[in-house]
Amino acid sequence: MTENEVFLLDTNILVYAYDAADIQKHTISKKIINKCLDGEYQIAISPQNLSEFFSVTTSKGLLEKTDAIKVISDIIVFPGWIKIGFDHITVLAAAKISDEYKMSYWDSLLVDTMKQNGVLKIYTENTKDFKVPWLVVENPFS
């Protein structure tokens, strides 16, 4: 990882930063986020990631809804997080990616959101879920 390299932080890594059940994953995830806060990493995040984060952390009891809202709000307003988004064209492209690469639609939506925003690297625990030729997939836990 270089200082100017932009990567998307998949939801699972963001969730581990708030889930201490696996101390190693929790520590690594917090370190990645802290490097973004310190300006060492440029991390991209999408509305899909933030939505999944809210759903997972609140449904698993990791955070109260008000706390999850605060985390999401902090990410949105902090200029160190690169916010990327999608539109109706992305939805169609994601459906085509899902079909062509036999991926889940939601992973395909994230992949095309990244592609359309020029983010071609993802940090995720789920490396097998992102099998497209233009994407660099890295598991920070291995």
- What does the pLDDT look like over 73-127, one tens digit per residue? 999 999 999 999 999 999 999 999 999 999 999 999 999 999 999 999 999 999 9
Whole-number Å distance between alpha carbons of 103 and 51: 20
User: Using only C-alpha atoms, what is the Rg of the chain?
Assistant: 15
pTM: 0.92
